[in-house]
A and B are shown apart, each in its own frame.
Chain A
Amino acid sequence: MTALTAPLTRVMQARFGPSAQVTDMTRLSGGASQETWGFGLEMRSAPTRRLILRRAPFQSAAKGEAIGLVKEAHIIGAAARTGTPVPEIIHVCSPEDDLGDAFIMAHVEGQTIARKILRDETFSRARSRLAFQCGEALAKIHAVDLDSLPPDLPISHGLDQVDRYEAIYRGFDMDRPVFELALAWLRQRAPQPLPATLVHGDFRNGNLMVNPEGLAAVLDWELAHHGDPREDLGWICVNSWRFGVREKRVGGFGTLEDLLAGYQAAGGQAGEAKDLMWFQALGSFKWGIMCLIMYQAFATKADPSIERAMIGRRASEAEIDLLNLIEGRPHA
Chain B
Amino acid sequence: MHEAPSSEELLGAVIGFLTEVAAPHLSGQAAFHARVAANALALVEREMAHRQPADARARALYAALLSDTSSPLDALTKEVCARIRSGALAYDDPALLAALREVTSAQLTIDQPTYSGLKP
Interchain nearest-CB distance for A213 vs B (Å): 27
Decide if A310 touches B39 in the complex (CB within 8 Å). yes
Closest B residue to A307 using CB positions:
B36
The one of B32, B84, B97, B108 in contact with A316, judged by C-beta atoms closer than 8 angstroms, is B108
Decide if B96 touches A175 in the complex (CB within 8 Å). no
Residues of A within 8 Å of B104, CB to CB, are 178, 316, 319-320, 323
Residues of A within 8 Å of B100, CB to CB, are 177-178, 181, 319, 323
Decide if B97 touches A326 in the complex (CB within 8 Å). yes
The verdict on A177 contacting B81 (CB below 8 Å), with A239-B117, A309-B40, A310-B40 known, is: yes
The verdict on A181 contacting B33 (CB below 8 Å), with A175-B77, A317-B117 known, is: no
Interface size on B, residues (CB 8 A): 35
Decide if A307 touches B33 in the complex (CB within 8 Å). yes
Decide if B85 touches A180 in the complex (CB within 8 Å). yes
Q: Considering the chains assembled together, what is the distance between the CA atoms of A306 and B43 in angstroms? A: 12
Q: Considering the chains assembled together, what is the distance between the CA atoms of A331 and B120 in angstroms? A: 9
Q: Considering the chains assembled together, what is the distance between the CA atoms of A190 and B32 in angstroms? A: 40
Residues of B within 8 Å of A239, CB to CB, are 116-117
Decide if A317 touches B97 in the complex (CB within 8 Å). no
Decide if B116 touches A242 in the complex (CB within 8 Å). yes
The verdict on A316 contacting B91 (CB below 8 Å), with A175-B81, A309-B40 known, is: no
Decide if B101 touches A317 in the complex (CB within 8 Å). no
Is chain B's binding surface mostly helix, strand, loop or mixed?
helix
Interchain nearest-CB distance for B84 vs A (Å): 4
Interchain nearest-CB distance for A152 vs B (Å): 35
Decide if A313 touches B97 in the complex (CB within 8 Å). no
Q: Number of A-B pairs whose CB atoms are under 8 Å?
A: 91
B105 at the interface (CB under 8 A from A): yes
Q: Considering the chains assembled together, what is the distance between the CA atoms of A313 and B119 in angstroms? A: 18
Closest A residue to B74 using CB positions:
A175
Q: Considering the chains assembled together, what is the distance between the CA atoms of A313 and B103 in angstroms? A: 15
Q: Considering the chains assembled together, what is the distance between the CA atoms of A166 and B20 in angstroms? A: 42
Closest B residue to A320 using CB positions:
B117
The verdict on A317 contacting B81 (CB below 8 Å), with A177-B100, A306-B33, A323-B104 known, is: no
Closest B residue to A242 using CB positions:
B116
Q: Considering the chains assembled together, what is the distance between the CA atoms of A74 and B71 in angstroms? A: 57
| A residues whose Cβ falls under 8 Å from a Cβ of B | 175-178, 180-181, 183-185, 188, 239, 242, 244-246, 305-307, 309-310, 313-314, 316-317, 319-321, 323-324, 326-327, 329, 331
Contacts A177-B77, A306-B37, A310-B36 aside, 4 further interface pairs with beta carbons under 8 A come to A175-B81, A177-B81, A180-B84, A309-B40
